[in-house]
Amino acid sequence: MDLIEKLKILGGAAKFDVSCSSSGSMRENKRMGIGNTSVSGICHSWTDDGRCISLLKVLLTNFCIYDCAYCANRISNDIPRAIFTPDELTELTINFYKRNYIEGLFLSSAIIKNPDYTMELMLKTVKKLRNEHKFNGYIHLKIIPGTDLKLIKEAGFYADRVSVNIELPNNESLKKLAPQKKKEDIIQPMSYIQSKINETKKIKKVKIYKPQPIFAPAGQSTQIIIGATPDNDLNILTLSQNLYKKFHLKRVYYSAYIPINKHPILPNTAPPLLREHRLYQADWLLRLYGFNSEELLNSENPNLDLDLDPKSAWALKNLHLFPIEINTADYEMLIRIPGIGINSAKKIIIARKIGYLTFDDLKSFGVVLKRAKYFITCQGKYYGISSFYPDTIKKFLISETLKQKYRDGQLSFFEINDLSGITGEL
Amino acid sequence: MTILIYDGSFEGLFTAIYECYINKIPFYKIVPKNKIQQNFFEEYKFIETDLIKAEKLQKKIISNISQKALHKIYYVFISEIDNKEELICSFLKLGFEFKKETHQYLSNKIVLTVNRISQKVLKEKHLLLGLIRFRELKNNIFYAPIEPKYNILILLTPHFVKRMPLQNWIIHDTKRKIAAIYNQKGLLLIELDTAISTFSDQEEKFQSLWKEYFENIKIEDRVKPKLQKQHMPLRYWKYLIEKSL
């Protein structure tokens, strides 16, 4: 099989892996080599479905001994199979990199023979890149569940980021859908990776003359499939929160389930992409905005509102905290205002040192007030609507998003008309 | 009114501003020499570019306002917007008045405009760091043509010097007809007219591998051309490998 055929199969087989980040690492070029990494990450292109392409994302092979119900590469599927040799993969990576197509390599794999054998083949490729080609670009290595810790240790010293996929949000689903994967095989490497990251970080802090290698400088991440099991958003977000707190994961990626295989216990329809989007929004609130999953959801409301972004939904449930005075609120509170992000909050803090800010000041330096206006005052003045009730504000917030969709051409005029009765504004 | 003419370079503009500043006269109207519109009633004075004077002004900006302010002024300059000289002068006037606090005046119209333009310039620079495509030439040089909206060629070079120190490469702004040439030792900025198109034997192979890869990683049911163009505006497609105009 020629290289182009292999690339088609093994590139296509990796396309559902959602992680694409190339950020967080500061690997330098040691002058005699090729490449370095960029802390902020760089996108090199965007696919026709609008996702960023940063790394050459491929499987080493799609030959698999496992039979996971949700997976396209499972052994019982009749599909074309291929395997890269380490030389082919390094040739592709180096030549794509030299032409500035990519930031580096994202290498995952199906399981050929056994986990250790697969991981060894992956490591062979990565070592070739780092040692023979002096490649200092970004490498993301997927850890195969059930791999010996010795191999994981090696992987961490060669890669910038490593990830073990959780795949399913609880042990029960894992038993049903991926019977050959065990929960321990996923959790154990995660905690091992976390301990290694901590260990080498500590060394880094002490002043030493010879720089020591850092284990997975860009940290670890994971991926959860959404909608293949009946788990609710509260289960999923609580799991993510624990992963962030316990294992200090850099990111948890959510992937809306795509029905590829027919299976009696799998749903036949994909969950709405909107749910995936809402989970990502909630995830940002957990990681960067100081929220807890219990604040966003509880056992009575275990799923995110599809009509509203999670921050707006939270604000409406906690309307007694609002409206917030822009000129005096502290940073932690500013970022809890719907529609105000980290950048806007920082700008507000800088600009109000000069003097009291007005509504127009906020507008002038680019704070988006479409949603925020219902939740703030500027010098005591409120610019929202006359009735300060959750239901009324909710209607207005929803009508704003509908107007946006209409402008973006995602909604026809008739749909808008139908909704005018509810919102009373259009 | 006297109009000051400078040679069109950044240092030239700084020399002109320095002259105004040192002579304690309000900033004149300053225009580059290729934009002079002869007017019978106006007086013209040509300012000879003086690197020492330009550097003095730079140092003054750094110590009186900030390093950041100097960067922003440079971004405004390479944005090549009309009346950039006027905007830079007004910004400096404001800067010398409010000193280090200048950047806090976020809703001031001049600060706002300067911030907005610098942001656009930096955004294009970041985007192009990813979208530049090198092609391997016959003589083992990697060549990348670009047509940026702003004059950001120089801003792009440090990234590639660090990333590809052992590779010979050229980045060519085909719109402005200038090129940055790197030969593993140093960097040279030259005027270059025509685009190069004599590629190495293996160039086509990797181009088609990349195209195939690109085609095969899209998720068919979720194709969103509009979103794709939002991230990667059409004006950059001309020199991409995976897309063309």
**Is B134 in Cβ contact with A354 (below 8 Å)?**
no
Report residue A260's pLDDT band, with 50, 70 and 90 as the boundaries. confident
A210 band by pLDDT with thresholds 50, 70 and 90: low
3-state SS class at A204: helix
**Tens of pLDDT along B186-245?**
999 999 998 888 899 999 999 999 999 999 999 888 899 999 999 999 999 999 999 988
Segment A237-259 shows an average pLDDT of: 91
| pLDDT of A383 over the 80 cut | yes
Which of A16, A31, A50 has the CB atom closest to B165's CB atom?
A31
Backbone phi and psi for residue A262, each to the nearest 5 degrees, phi listed first? -90, 130
Interface of A with B in 264-293 (CB under 8 A): 273
Nearest CA in chain B to A95: B206
Phi, psi of A424 (to 5 degrees): 70, 10
Burial category of A295 from C-beta neighbours within 10 Å (exposed 0-12, middle 13-18, buried 19 and up): middle
Neighbours of B180 (CB within 10 A): 21
The pLDDT of residue A203 is 62
Contact, B171 vs B179, CB < 8 A? yes
Q: Who has greater pLDDT, A181 or B142?
A: B142
Q: Is B245 on the interface with A (CB under 8 A)?
A: no
The C-alpha atoms of residue A215 and residue A209 are separated, in whole angstroms, by 18
The partner residue sitting opposite A49, judged by closest CB among B107, B222, B243, is: B222
Cis peptide before A310 (omega within 30 of 0): no
Under the banding of pLDDT at 50, 70 and 90, the label for residue A424 is: very low
Contact B228 A50 (CB under 8 A): yes
Say whether pLDDT at A400 is over 80.
no
Three-point CA angle A140, A145, A150, nearest 5°: 75
What share of chain A has pLDDT > 90, as a percent?
Answer: 63
Least confident of A150-164, A400-414, B77-91: A400-414
Q: What are phi and psi of A365, to 5 degrees?
A: -100, 25
CA distance A30 to B170: 22
| Band of pLDDT at residue A425, cut at 50, 70 and 90 | very low
The Cβ of residue B31 has, within 10 Å, a number of other Cβ atoms equal to: 20
Residue among A373, A370, A311, A364 at smallest CA distance from A342: A311
Mutate to test the interface with A, among B217, B221, B227, B243 (most CBs of A within 10 A): B217
With beta carbons less than 8 A apart as the criterion, state whether B124 and B93 touch.
no
pLDDT above 50: residue A422: no
Residues 124-153 of B with CB under 8 A from A: 126, 129-136, 142, 144
Q: Is the CB of residue A29 less than 8 Å away from at least one CB of chain B? A: yes
Q: Max Cα separation, chain B?
A: 67
The mean pLDDT of B48-66, rounded to a whole number, is: 95
Q: Check if the beta carbon of residue B204 is closer than 8 Å to that of residue B241.
A: no
Task: Select from A83, A89, A82, A84 the least CA-distant residue to A126.
Answer: A89
Per-residue pLDDT at A333: 96
Q: What are the Cα distances from residue A107, in Å, to A83, A104, A119, A149, A162?
A: 12, 10, 10, 18, 10
Interface predicted TM-score of the whole assembly (ipTM), two decimals = 0.94
State mean pLDDT over B95-123: 93
* Residues with Cβ within 8 Å of residue A337, at least 6 apart in sequence: A315, A322, A324, A329, A372, A375, A376
Q: B5 and B31 in contact (C-beta within 8 Å)?
A: yes
Answer whether B104 sits within 8 Å of A350, measured CB to CB.
yes
Give residue A124's pLDDT: 97
- In chain A, the largest separation of any two C-alpha atoms, in whole Å, equals 71
The answer, for A14 touching chain B at a CB cutoff of 8 Å, is yes
Under an 8 A CB cutoff, do A53 and B106 touch? Answer: no
Question: Are the beta carbons of A214 and A265 closer than 8 angstroms?
Answer: no
* B202 vs B214: CA distance, rounded Å: 19
Q: In angstroms, rounded to a whole number, what is the distance separating the alpha carbons of residues A202 and A195?
A: 11
What is the reported pLDDT for A405? 65
Q: Does the structure show a pLDDT above 50 at A117? A: yes
Shortest distance between the Cα of B204 and any Cα of chain A, in A, equals 12
Separation of alpha carbons A381 and A385, rounded Å = 12
CB contacts, 8 Å: A90 with chain B:
none
Query: A with B: how many residue pairs have Cβ under 8 Å apart?
Result: 142
Separation between Cα atoms, residue B94 and residue B114, nearest integer Å: 12
**Three-state secondary structure call for residue A106:** strand
Average pLDDT in chain A = 88
Neighbours of A279 (CB within 10 A): 22
Phi, psi of B236 (to 5 degrees): -95, 0
pLDDT of residue A413 exceeding 60:
no
**What is the DSSP code (8-state) at residue A272?**
P
Domain ranges of chain A: 3-291, 310-423
CB A62 within 8 A of CB A110: yes
Please say if the pLDDT value at position A419 is more than 50.
no
pLDDT-based confidence at residue A414 (cuts at 50, 70, 90): very low
The alpha-carbon radius of gyration of chain B (Å, integer) is: 22
In contact, B75 and B84? CB cutoff 8 Å: no
Lowest-pLDDT choice from A83-97, A121-135, A328-342, A375-389: A375-389
State pTM to two decimals: 0.90
Helix (H) or strand (E) run with residue A117 in it: helix A115-127
Scan residues 76-115 of B and list those with Cβ closer than 8 Å to A.
Answer: 101, 103-107, 112, 115
Whether B167 contacts chain A with CB within 8 A: yes
Measured CA to CA, the distance from residue B105 to residue B192 in angstroms comes to 42
Q: Return d(Cα B29, Cα B8) in angstroms, integer.
A: 14
Euclidean distance between CA atoms A164 and A309, whole angstroms: 29
Facing B165 at nearest CB: one of A8, A29, A49? A29
Closest CA to A42 of A60, A70, A23, A24: A23
- Contacts of residue B162 in chain A, CB cutoff 8 Å? 28-29, 36
Architecture of domain A3-291: Alpha-Beta Barrel (3.20)
Dihedral class, residue A255 (left if φ above 0, else alpha if ψ from -120 to 50, else beta): beta
Please state the rounded mean pLDDT for residues B66-83: 96
Nearest CA in chain B to A14: B217
Nearest chain B residue to A44, by CA: B130
Nearest to A36 among B163, B206, B227 (CB): B163
As a dihedral over the C-alpha atoms of residue B64, residue B68, residue B69, residue B70, rounded to 10 degrees, the angle is 90
Between A48 and A174, residue with greater pLDDT: A48
Please name the residues between 211 and 240 in chain B that touch chain A, using a CB distance below 8 Å.
212-214, 216-219, 222-228, 230-232, 240
Instruction: Tokens 């095989």: give the residue.
Output: A185
B244 touches chain A (CB under 8 A): no
CA distance A398 to A76: 46
Residues of A in contact with B222 (CB under 8 A): 49-50, 273
